[in-house]
Chains A and B, each alone.
Chain A
Amino acid sequence: MLQASWADYLRIAFYFVAMLFFYRDFLRENKVANRMGVAILSFVFLLDSFGIVDYVVQHHHFPIYTAAQATILFSWLLIVVSLIMSWLLRIDYFVFLLTLFGFAFSLFDVVIHRHATTLHVVQRSDLLLLHIATALLSYLAFSVGMIFSILYFLQAFSLREKRFESGPFLRLPPLFTLERYSFRSALIGEILLGLTIVYGDIWYAMLTGHWLDEDKKSIMSFLLFWHYALFLFLRSKGWISARTAAILQWIGYLGIVINFFVVSLVVSKYHQW
């Protein structure tokens, strides 16, 4: 794992350059810029992968038990999704937005989170590993769903306002596809969030003998679970429009972000992340 601060800043610098290339492609379609962005992001991916493998070899477990480690792992997952999406779906807008999000996330981690977090090693077990892994994957799925809902809005706006020369109209997939991707990502995120809550509660109960029912992060996660459940139910029944569904998803994702950063760092007594 890259621990030295110069390595972190080097990684951030590469990430930033990749994002600039994607931004160039975002403003006006430019295949060369896109390829450069993918190449540099691939380099960041290799750096991170090397760090993770190195850590696993040295410590015989995944770098997941501290806030900083989990953050880097989550950032690595974002890059993996970006690269897969740029390879499989070729939705340049998606890759740009996910890279932008990943960059902001990494920057936050380096500047604030890393220094604010006490890197203590918590009580380890398989259930805890599952709890953290499903939590990270659920955040990832919600992030992907959120970005697709933004893209849905952009495409819907260009269609409704008849902006036939705009980038979203020319370059984004059809509305149906965007909404389907957004819905399915949120569904996957919901299932994973449910598992996260269950694993976390069981783990805590096994460790302490009682349920962790007063922790702010647990309560917030529980509320978010029901928010997403409601949104998924209403949309699958067709009782809300795709536009309303997108807005509900944005609200839910805002809750995820608050839960991840604010509640973990400031409010929660137990959760550090």
Chain B
Amino acid sequence: MGIILVGLNYRTAPVELREQFSIPESAIEDYLKELLYQDGIEEAVLVSTCNRTEIYVVADTPTRALSSIETLLATLSHVNPQEFRTHLYLYQDLHAVKHLLRVVTGLDSMVVGETQILGQVRTAFLTAQQHHATGHIFNVLFRDAIAFGKRVQTETSIGQSAVSVSYAAVSLAKKVFGTLSQQTVLVVGAGKMADLTIKHLQAQGVERVLIVNRTFARAQEKALQYGGQALSIDRLADALCEADIVISSSGGQDYLIHPQVLAKRMTTRKLRPIFLIDIAVPRNIDPALAKWDDIYVYDIDDLQNVVASGMAHRQQEAQQVELMIEEQVTAFEHWRVSQDGVRLIASLQKKANAVQDAVLDSLFHKLPSLDERERKVVQKHLQSVVNQLLREPIASVKAFSQMEDGKEQLEIIARAFGLETAVESQSEANHFTVNHSPAPVKERQDQFRVIGTLSTI
């Protein structure tokens, strides 16, 4: 059994194509059933977001699985496979695991480190689980991946820095005030950026919004929009007395907010800090105010610098996350090898029991005079012989299961005990796991973007 992932995302497919592969929530159950109905597919999870559609399956043979997935995608999108094949990517086994981990940590997202995707993958997994589409492998893989995604969010700060100008203003305000719910926001002027910033602030719990505009009617309009209070421009000094956060985006050549206007505020507000964001060009706020105690002034360039440093910080953190992913992939690989060991031990015991049963049948057939007690004694001793013979091999299998390069040794043990079926399936599974592009998949390389290394995408 191997893990196969086929998908497309914002890097490989334009939005016109991605939207055709979007899976509606109501249809997920049908698609999962359709996949599991296919011969050889044991488990499936469908992840569908605005930036990606990915199909994860556990399958015994890649070729058949790919064919089934391709059919499913064609049905879903009503697009001829010839047209979308070049936009698809394929990952197998550990590469698929690594990709999933990059997805849940936001490394594969358009905005590096975004956290929304973790919730989306979690929902996809729970939906699949709810419809009995997951089994032993995906239950472990997805649970571990989701826990890993949470760990990355806790242990690194990859998702914490601002990556948009409007949110940069909010993150700066939070650096001054902490919680924003008790703060009063004053908006001077109007503009798209100011609108976005207000929305972000309100999302952070800001309740009181004052709006000042040169045109009072425009202020009233905005006040209605954001549930705020409109004030005329000649009441700016009064409004400043109440404000903790000021967003200014008014037109005009002169400074609207200057030391004389703010002097009253700083006296009446008892030196409470005030946070001034000037997103107007030409600027509305006198930069000389930045020298005053408890006044923090930022202009549009500063906000862009916050974004740039935020992006740089996320990239820096991403390097650490990549290392964590490598460790996680190795841990999953160990788990898989240990599972191979468990299967081999089961096969070994099954074969030993079969041999023991056959010998006992033959023996009892040749010695019909044995009474029940004697039969039990013989059976017990034979069982003891088998157990003693198997003790060392089983211990070796357990030991090899814990080793990084234990797979070859497991194969040798399987062959030594004549577990041909086990060896074959083991061998196939091993090829599938270790070699990223086994023979059956290579035949399809002209059709799919088979990813050998993640850097190729």
Binding site for B on A (CB under 8 A): 29, 31, 155, 159-160, 162, 164-165, 169-171, 173-177, 237-244
Contact = CB atoms under 8 A, between A and B. Distances in A.
B175 A160 contact: no
Interface string B291-316: 00110101000100110011011000
Given A162-B302, A175-B175, A177-B178, 18 more contacts: A159-B296, A160-B290, A164-B309, A170-B157, A170-B160, A174-B174, A174-B176, A175-B273, A176-B273, A238-B269, A238-B270, A238-B271, A240-B271, A241-B271, A242-B271, A243-B293, A243-B294, A244-B293
Nearest to B303: A164
B268 to A, nearest CB: 10
Contacts of A164: 305-306, 309-310
Interface residues of B, number: 27
Interface of B: 155, 157, 160-161, 172, 174-178, 269-273, 290, 293-294, 296, 298, 302, 305-306, 309-310, 312-313
A200 to B, nearest CB: 36
Nearest to A244: B293
Contact of B270 (A171, A173, A239): A239
Given A238-B272, A241-B294, A242-B294, A174 B306 contact: no
Contact of A174 (B160, B175, B272): B175
A171 B157 CA distance: 9
Nearest to A177: B178
B161 A31 contact: no
A243 B313 CA distance: 29
27 contacts: A29-B157, A155-B175, A159-B175, A162-B302, A164-B306, A164-B309, A165-B312, A170-B160, A170-B161, A170-B313, A171-B157, A174-B177, A174-B178, A176-B176, A176-B178, A176-B273, A177-B178, A238-B269, A238-B270, A238-B271, A238-B272, A239-B271, A241-B271, A241-B293, A242-B271, A242-B273, A242-B293
Contacts of B293: 241-244
The main secondary structure of chain A at its interface with chain B is helix
Nearest to A178: B178
B221 to A, nearest CB: 33
A169 B312 CA distance: 14
Contacts of A176: 176-178, 273
A81 B309 CA distance: 33
Given A174-B175, A176-B177, A31 B270 contact: no
A243 B296 CA distance: 13
